[in-house]
Amino acid sequence: MSTAPNDYLLHLADNAVVLGQRDAEWCGHGPILEEDLALANVSLDLIGQARLLYQLAATRIGNGATEDTLAYFRDDTEFRNYTLVELPNHGALVGYAASDRDYATTIVRNFLYSALMVLVWDALQKSPDADLAAIAAKSLKEARYHLHHAADWVVKFGDGTEESHARAQAALDHLFPYTEEFWTPSAAEDAAIASGAATDVRTLRAAWDAIVADTLAEATLKRPDVRGYVPEGKHGRHSEHLSYLLGEMQGLARAHPGATW
Amino acid sequence: MHATIDDVWAALDHLTDPEIPVVTLRELGILRDIRETANGIEVVITPTYSGCPAMGQIEDDVRASLQQAGIEARVITQLAPAWTTDWMSEEAKAKLRAYGIAPPHTTPSDTSVIRFVRRVDTRPVACPQCGSTNTILSSQFGSTACKALYKCLDCQEPFDYFKPY
């Protein structure tokens, strides 16, 4: 039986938990009540997916590993998520500009990521790794709703007012270069492909391009030209933002190991 | 006393969803199977949404009911095949409607990823209050992950729609 390498499971889990954490930053701060609830629910789905993947990885790793040791007691350089998902909920800040949440950035990021994940989960639900396939089949159902939600808002923003269009385009220009990381397999992804448990993500690129093109056309937004730098978050080389995110997420568990409530 | 499969079903039949107390776990398809194995009786439950916070409560409720009935059984969580709203019984759907939640349509048969992407399900969702299909989607996510928020344009009532999953 072909089983996915543990590093590959962690890559999938880390993406979900980190984006779940980012989206959860809107809890209590949503631009409208409906969106506050929507983002909280998307976060719950993502954290739920991460838990299933961490539980599976922990069972296979053994040696006392649990979902909690994997989520809370690995350091930033051990995380295998895309750089895209760890970026803050706003674009680049200049000088002493106050940090702020920008909903266009959050929505565009969720759109770019969920457009990839509907394709990845769809491929993985046929994986010969039955445990991974079971998680993928569930996650696919959820990712579809995440994509609907994000794509709807990309269209509303892009084809909305001058202000919403400009902010959506700025978010797209800021985030799009980070999607280059999707298409350059890591060692863990190569091993997963070689094991037969995972599909080569490069074969999904045309379908992803089609989803993006379709939505951006409806949104009257322009796909930025991307060339050059390829981020390496999934190799453990992250932006500085991940460390702060993990500091918040892991702080309680590390201060009070084994605490229950 | 050795409990039979029927005893276990009887002990668990009253358990309802913690969020939607009018439908039972069995009607929702969460309580999937009770089976006799070489290691004793197994109760098989399946999670709904991956992050559904009610699942922990559901598992606790099942264990507590088993204990109360003096039944020794293991509770197994099984992921595959993935839970679907298509498992919901007609009785359950009627109860949801009476409770004010529009029950789910069957999951779209065309599950092709690409085709599914932008075209949201266009089947009309009937208002559980007045029955009108002149309704509009307010948000893909309602009070919980499993529900979307709709509004009836005739009676003006907002309502939850249990999404096909």
CA distance B118 to B106: 19
Q: Which of B59, B76, B117, B119 to substitute to test the interface with A, most A CBs within 10 Å?
A: B117
Nearest to B114 among A131, A141, A210 (CB): A210
Query: Of all helices (H) and strands (E), which one includes residue A138?
Result: helix A130-158
Q: What is the mean pLDDT of residues A16-28?
A: 96
Would the pLDDT of A186 be above 60?
Answer: yes
Per DSSP, the residues of B42-101 read EEEE--SSTT-THHHHHHHHHHHHHHHTT--EEEEE--SSPP-GGGS-HHHHHHHHHHTE
Closest residue in B to A140 (Cα) is: B113
Confidence of residue A99 (pLDDT cuts 50, 70, 90): low
Q: What is the pTM of this model?
A: 0.93
pLDDT at B45: 95
Instruction: Tell me how many residue pairs between chain A and chain B have CB atoms under 8 A apart.
Output: 98
Q: What is the mean pLDDT of residues B55-63?
A: 93
pLDDT at B117: 55
A214-244 pLDDT, tens per residue?
Answer: 999 999 999 999 878 899 999 999 999 999 9
CB atoms within 10 A of CB B101: 22
CB atoms within 10 A of CB B106: 11
- What ipTM is given for this predicted complex? 0.87
A113-156 pLDDT, tens per residue?
Answer: 999 999 999 999 999 999 999 999 999 999 999 999 999 999 99
Confidence of residue A246 (pLDDT cuts 50, 70, 90): very high
CA distance A234 to A69: 19
| DSSP, res A223 | P
CA distance B123 to B106: 10
Nearest to A38 among B83, B113, B141 (CB): B141
Closest residue in A to B120 (Cα) is: A148
Would the pLDDT of A85 be above 90?
Answer: yes
Confidence of residue B142 (pLDDT cuts 50, 70, 90): confident
Question: How close are the terminal C-alpha atoms of chain A, in Å?
Answer: 39
Contact A141 B82 (CB under 8 A): yes
Which residues in chain A are contacts of B120 at CB distance < 8 A?
Answer: 148, 152
Closest residue in B to A134 (Cα) is: B80
